[in-house]
Structure 1
Amino acid sequence: MKKFETFVFNILASNSKQWLVIILTLVALAASVMMLPTKIVLAKMLPGKSANTYSIYIHTPTASSIEQTRAVAECAVGFLQKEKEVVDTEVYLGQGAPLDYAGLVKGSAFKNSENEAEIVVNLTDKHEREEPSFMMVHRLRPTIKTNCEAIVPGTVIEMIEQPAGPPTLASVVAEIYGRNYESIYRLSQKIAAIFKKTEGLVDINIMADDPYKKYELVPNSDKISRSGLSVEQVNKILYLAFEGMVVAHKNSKDYPDQIGLFVRLSDKTRRLRDHSRQALESKLASLKLMNKKGMLVPVNEIVDIREVDASPTIMQKELRRMINVTAETDLVSQVYPLLDARSTIMNELAKDYKIETTDYLFNLRLTDKKTGEVFDLKWDGEMKVTLDTFRDLGAAFIAALILIFLLLVVYYKNFTISGIVLAGSFLSIIGVIVGHWVADMVTEHTFFLTATSLIGFIALMGISSRNSLLLIDFAKALMLEKGFDKQHAIAVASATRAKPIMLTAIAIILGSALLASDPIFGGLGVALISGTVAAVIVSLIFIPVLMFRAKAMDPEKLRELQEV
């Protein structure tokens, strides 16, 4: 290591070389950090997860029939059956599939209407196929949505993947709160329109019933009495015709309870030719009841038909009326599309609403300039989990830095020396970010800076601190016990401790290499590998320069500290 000792000695001997090392290090730090806002390195909670299953949610317009929903589902299944990696599909019409990990928070249990359907897609084992499930979803999404959503105008098809981390309602969720349902719904449509124009957001859906008209059948008591019928007769035939009802029971020795006999008109008979009032009147005219005199009375003569507005399902959260607008992301992070959508919301809606930020960083409060109505827009979903996780890990990182600094101050009894060690710990972020940039260039899919990457960075702080401590303590010993001058002691300490520092780094790199290929913990592996490389370079070149320029490392100062 004599050559390396000479190399460090020559750097310390020249003031210009010292400044060159400092400037290059600071430039590397600034350049690496700028990779995040410039989107050279993208941040995401967790990368895509390849699973053996995924789901397709189908939402036709609220007034749609089960036949229309079935047609959309059959269209989607037709494309899925062409995929050789699809083992089978399960279609649930008018309901959600049995709850799974993803469906627990996505509202599967609430699906109970003719305009809803869910398709569960089972794939071959992920270890036996080349294409991961999230890439299959990415490839099939535009094909299925383009061809199948057009069957029933207004249909929304969502491709739901198994979450790699905490399950959420969607990647991006805009919760819109207000007092009046119609006003909230109109604002939610504007938000959804902005989402549709935002690059990176797909599967936009308003989780609310579409406004539509429906017909109520009200028995006319006067006409029923004059016809010699009863209201009970009229109600029964209406239920028998359209809904069906139990009319009798059957007993069986093989079954402990009575078996109900359910009767209704066949699907073909009870179906209307269209959604018009005339079609309903025609169907009622074909239903006849016999009165006490043996005369047949058409039902349309004793029933009033009223057109009314359908009552929407009211959603509330924390006792406040709200509507969710959801969106998924297609192989991109949630943060960047949200920032784009939020900026567009503030620009496009500013002419109709007074917009201001509220308690949370990205949440907005919109006040209608004409009516004075106040709406709150709160962000939720995987995006919020991402922001909260990065915020919490950032706080943990700052807390770790403070604790390390306090421990070093207690140990060295000097703020300058403690700051040198702390600088070496922080600068490993250069390697972490650059490592993700390199990994993104050599991998097929986008390699994100994830939560596990930040965990690796926090773990690196202890390793980086150890490297600096080795150099400082050894250089101190050489100056105080062997009488070395400052420059010589730092050069010898760097060369002598280079071997154990590098051996430790190699052990970390080899151990972390197993993690680097993992889809979830790949960020942790890359952070440990690249951060360790950066920590070694910083420890052996940059830290010696700081030590040499620090007056606290002069032999006289060290003796004073030793005597304290």
Structure 2
Amino acid sequence: MAELNGRTPAEVIADLGADRNAGPGRQQVDWQARSFFAPGGGDSWSLPKGTELRWSGEGEWRITLQVFRDMGLAFAFALVAIFFVLRVQTGSAGLSLIIMSAIPLTVIGIMPGFWLLNQFGERTIAGAPEPVLFTATAMIGMIALAGIVVRNSLILVEFISQALNRGLELKEALIQAGAVRMRPVLLTAGTTLLGNLVITLDPVFSGLALAIIFGILASTLFTLLVIPIVYLLVFDRPVEEARK
């Protein structure tokens, strides 16, 4: 029996697994200096012959693995579904992938965002540190972002298509898309961000709100640059090649 306040069960299991049958003479490591890449506290231990060890308790380790496995499958299914919907609407696989290129940009904001929250001071609950973790609800927020950020890409791509139909050159259409559609993109992201600020106060669903906030910030800023650039790289062909 032990008090796990301030540490996740996965971290404790990683430490116990690293110390099992490790042998004597190991240097003691403070718990704050340990990580998943360097677990173990230096307290070697072993079990008598014929004794079997099973991690049980509340089953948090097993539940965590199962939840993130299922969430990963749900995320993959969401991406496939979004692609087929865009493919039907646009009639172009390349254009669909360009619109979806904003989805991976959310990770640039989510993962560093959670890391930064733990760098600007740690929360203390019952006298022990309580880190901000990427939980299952945060994974739900990341899945929800896949649909949110696609809307920003659609706003840009739709304007580009309309400008090209009016006879504008590709580069001019891309520049105008960024200039004219920047305000709608920022307003869409801003309303989503403000709507999630209140949820950050919830002890369970705060991870969902934080994932959406950090993801929408990074994705919005990068979308205004990445989408036009990728569009240019894919569709800017020489005149002779385009005529063929």
With the length of structure 1 as denominator, give the TM-score of the two structures: 0.34
- C-alpha distance in structure 1 between counterparts of 2:110 and 2:212, whole Å: 7
| Candidates 147, 150, 158, aligned match of 1:462 | 147
Partner AA of 2:222 in structure 1 = V
- C-alpha distance in structure 2 between counterparts of 1:408 and 1:432, whole Å: 25
| Candidates 416, 420, 437, aligned match of 2:115 | 437
| Candidates 180, 190, 195, aligned match of 1:496 | 180
1:528 aligned onto 2:212: yes
Corresponding residue number in structure 2 for 1:395: 73
Corresponding residue number in structure 2 for 1:451: 136
Q: CA deviation at 1:552?
A: 7.6
Mapped contact 1:417–1:553 kept (Cα < 8 A): no
What percentage of residue pairs aligned between the two structures are identical? Answer: 33
Mapped contact 2:170–2:236 kept (Cα < 8 A): no
Task: Give runs of aligned pairs for residues 23-102 of structure 1, distance below 5 A.
Answer: none
Mapped contact 1:429–1:531 kept (Cα < 8 A): yes
Q: CA deviation at 1:542?
A: 1.3
Q: CA deviation at 1:558?
A: 10
**Structure with the bigger percentage of helix:** 2
Corresponding residue number in structure 2 for 1:540: 224
Mapped contact 1:397–1:458 kept (Cα < 8 A): yes
Give the secondary structure class of the aligned counterpart of 1:448: coil
Which structure has the larger Rg? 1
- C-alpha distance in structure 2 between counterparts of 1:422 and 1:554, whole Å: 25
Task: Give runs of aligned pairs for residues 116-155 of structure 1, distance below 5 A.
Answer: none
CA deviations over 1:72-127 (Å, ceiling 9, x no partner): xxxxxxxxxxxxxxxxxxxxxxxxxxxxxxxxxxxxxxxxxxxxxxxxxxxxxxxx
- C-alpha distance in structure 1 between counterparts of 2:237 and 2:205, whole Å: 40
Partner AA of 1:429 in structure 2 = V
Corresponding residue number in structure 1 for 2:30: none
Task: Give runs of aligned pairs for residues 57-456 of structure 1, distance below 5 A.
Answer: 203=2, 329-345=4-20, 378-380=54-56, 381-445=59-123, 446-456=131-141
For structure 2, the residue ranges without an aligned partner over 5 or more in a row are 24-48, 124-130
Q: Decide whether aligned partners of structure 1 residues 426 and 388 sit closer, same or farther in structure 2, where only a CA change above 3 A counts.
A: same
Give the secondary structure class of the aligned counterpart of 1:466: helix
Aligned length: 210
Q: Decide whether aligned partners of structure 1 residues 404 and 552 sit closer, same or farther in structure 2, where only a CA change above 3 A counts.
A: farther
Partner AA of 1:466 in structure 2 = R
Q: Decide whether aligned partners of structure 1 residues 440 and 333 sit closer, same or farther in structure 2, where only a CA change above 3 A counts.
A: same
Q: CA deviation at 1:377?
A: 5.2
Q: Decide whether aligned partners of structure 1 residues 343 and 556 sit closer, same or farther in structure 2, where only a CA change above 3 A counts.
A: farther
Partner AA of 1:402 in structure 2 = V
Partner AA of 2:201 in structure 1 = S
Q: CA deviation at 1:450?
A: 1.1
Q: Decide whether aligned partners of structure 1 residues 487 and 378 sit closer, same or farther in structure 2, where only a CA change above 3 A counts.
A: farther
| Candidates 513, 517, 521, aligned match of 2:201 | 517
Q: CA deviation at 1:344?
A: 4.1
1:478 aligned onto 2:159: no
Mapped contact 1:479–1:489 kept (Cα < 8 A): yes
Partner AA of 2:141 in structure 1 = G
Partner AA of 2:7 in structure 1 = V
Q: CA deviation at 1:390?
A: 1.2
Mapped contact 1:486–1:554 kept (Cα < 8 A): no
- C-alpha distance in structure 2 between counterparts of 1:464 and 1:554, whole Å: 31
CA deviations over 1:206-240 (Å, ceiling 9, x no partner): xxxxxxxxxxxxxxxxxxxxxxxxxxxxxxxxxxx
Q: Decide whether aligned partners of structure 1 residues 491 and 379 sit closer, same or farther in structure 2, where only a CA change above 3 A counts.
A: farther
- C-alpha distance in structure 1 between counterparts of 2:121 and 2:205, whole Å: 15
CA deviations over 1:30-65 (Å, ceiling 9, x no partner): xxxxxxxxxxxxxxxxxxxxxxxxxxxxxxxxxxxx
Structure with higher RCO (Cα < 8 A, 6+ apart)? 2
Q: Decide whether aligned partners of structure 1 residues 469 and 389 sit closer, same or farther in structure 2, where only a CA change above 3 A counts.
A: same
Q: CA deviation at 1:346?
A: 7.3
Q: Decide whether aligned partners of structure 1 residues 499 and 347 sit closer, same or farther in structure 2, where only a CA change above 3 A counts.
A: same
Q: CA deviation at 1:416?
A: 2.1
Give the secondary structure class of the aligned counterpart of 1:329: coil
**Structure with the bigger percentage of strand:** 1
- C-alpha distance in structure 1 between counterparts of 2:109 and 2:52, whole Å: 41
Mapped contact 2:109–2:216 kept (Cα < 8 A): yes
Give the secondary structure class of the aligned counterpart of 1:545: helix
CA deviations over 1:277-329 (Å, ceiling 9, x no partner): xxxxxxxxxxxxxxxxxxxxxxxxxxxxxxxxxxxxxxxxxxxxxxxxxxx53
